[in-house]
Amino acid sequence: MDQFHLMNVYVAVAEEEGFAAASRRLRLSAPAVTRAVAELEDKLGVKLLNRTTRYVRTTDAGVRYLEDARRILHDIELANEAAIGINAEPKGHLSITAPVLFGQKYIMPGIMEYLKTYPNTYVDAVFLDRVVNLLEEGFDIGIRIGELPDSTMRAKQIGKVRLVLVASPDYITEYGIPNDPNDLANHTLISSSAGSMTQDWQFIENEKKQTLRVKPRLTVTTNQATINAAKEGFGITRVISYQVADELANGHLKTMLSDFELPSVPIHIIHRESHLSSNKVRSFIDLMAERLKKDESLHGVKQRWHCATP
């Protein structure tokens, strides 16, 4: 078989961690996928995958080969697009990752528009509340919320958001609101362990960053669960402003301690650096950037008409 075909099949199996999933992704029969990987291993004289009845994992040699194969296939795709022309219609497979709630609320509508606009494209969207390494995990595009470390990734800022404290009007009516962060010790707190959320809540007080170790009555593993509990009037929680944009707009939740908030943090669309990004990647980034830049909830604006005051 063609070497590039074998590499493409191997990348699919390694990324999907299974032959059946790779066959569905590639639209090939399972036996054809199995034969391709076996032939590639024979050609190379090394074992690339460890197989059991429960899982498929890359060997040490397979990990190194996977990174090289991805780079080679990516360069081929770029060369083909350069030959066809920059204005050619996007086509092919695109893999995207984003935080869970952000992906559900903002990225999925953009993906739907992208797929309808470009009928020859296919998208895999993975929403995770952790930092994803695009290169190691095989993603084309990622959404990052927060300051970006130095890396080989290219980034396009499309907004900014804030960490906010929120509670329901019923909770505020019954228990009042804190006047400063230290007052939180006298309130029922709800915390999420998802992503970078921790029980160390930070604030700006007297122009200095202060860290407050909180003791929540309820700790859950998803941000949506904390929002739901707060809406039910159970207590105060800390979330990212976009996560409760709808609840703030309709008055189901209200912000508090706004004067003690940390500065806004940026939202970026990131992708693997290249002298020429693929047309499908450029098109998706342009579409999402246009959509997200129009959304007021993604630009760090304080909705003060919904803020609770003493």
Q: How confident is the model at residue 166 (pLDDT cuts 50, 70, 90)?
A: very high
Q: Where are the domains of the chain?
A: 3-84, 92-159+265-298, 163-263
Q: Determine the Cα angle at 104 with ends 201 and 15, to 5°.
A: 100
Angle between helices 60-84 and 3-16 (to 10 degrees): 120
Q: Are 248 and 306 in contact (CB under 8 A)?
A: yes
Task: Give the architecture (CATH level 2) of 3-84.
Answer: Orthogonal Bundle (1.10)
pLDDT digits (tens, 9 = 90+) for 176-185: 999 999 999 9
pLDDT of residue 277: 58
Mean pLDDT of 127-148: 84
CA-CA distance, 159 to 39, in Å (whole number)?
47
CA-CA distance, 261 to 163, in Å (whole number)?
7
pLDDT of residue 51: 85
pLDDT of residue 218: 94
Q: Are 226 and 195 in contact (CB under 8 A)?
A: no
Task: Give the architecture (CATH level 2) of 92-159+265-298.
Answer: 3-Layer(aba) Sandwich (3.40)
Mean pLDDT of 187-205: 83
pLDDT digits (tens, 9 = 90+) for 14-29: 888 888 888 888 888 9
Task: Tell whether the model's pLDDT for residue 191 goes beyond 80.
Answer: yes
DSSP the chain: --HHHHHHHHHHHHHHTSHHHHHHHHT--HHHHHHHHHHHHHHHTS--EEE-SS-EEE-HHHHHHHHHHHHHHHHHHHHHHHHH-TTSPP-EEEEEEE-HHHIIIIIHHHHHHHHHH-TTEEEEEEE-SS---HHHHT-SEEEEESPPPS-SEEEEEEEEE-EEEEE-HHHHHHH---SSGGGGGGS-EEEE-STT--SEEEEEETTEEEEEE---SEEES-HHHHHHHHHTTS-EEEEEGGGGHHHHHHTSSEEE-GGGPPPPEEEEEEEE--SS--HHHHHHHHHHHHHHHT-GGGBT---GGGB---
DSSP 112-132: HHHHHH-TTEEEEEEE-SS--
pLDDT digits (tens, 9 = 90+) for 238-270: 999 999 999 999 999 999 999 999 988 899 999
Domains 92-159+265-298 and 163-263 in one fold: yes
pLDDT of residue 197: 60
Phi–psi pair at 294, nearest 5 degrees? -85, -10
pLDDT of residue 127: 92
CA-CA distance, 186 to 203, in Å (whole number)?
17
pLDDT of residue 152: 63
pLDDT of residue 195: 67
215 class by beta-carbon count within 10 Å (0-12 exposed, 13-18 middle, 19+ buried): exposed
163-263: CATH class = alpha beta
Task: Tell whether the model's pLDDT for residue 81 goes beyond 90.
Answer: no
Mean pLDDT of 70-94: 75
Q: Determine the Cα angle at 258 with ends 253 and 263, to 5°.
A: 120
pLDDT of residue 73: 83
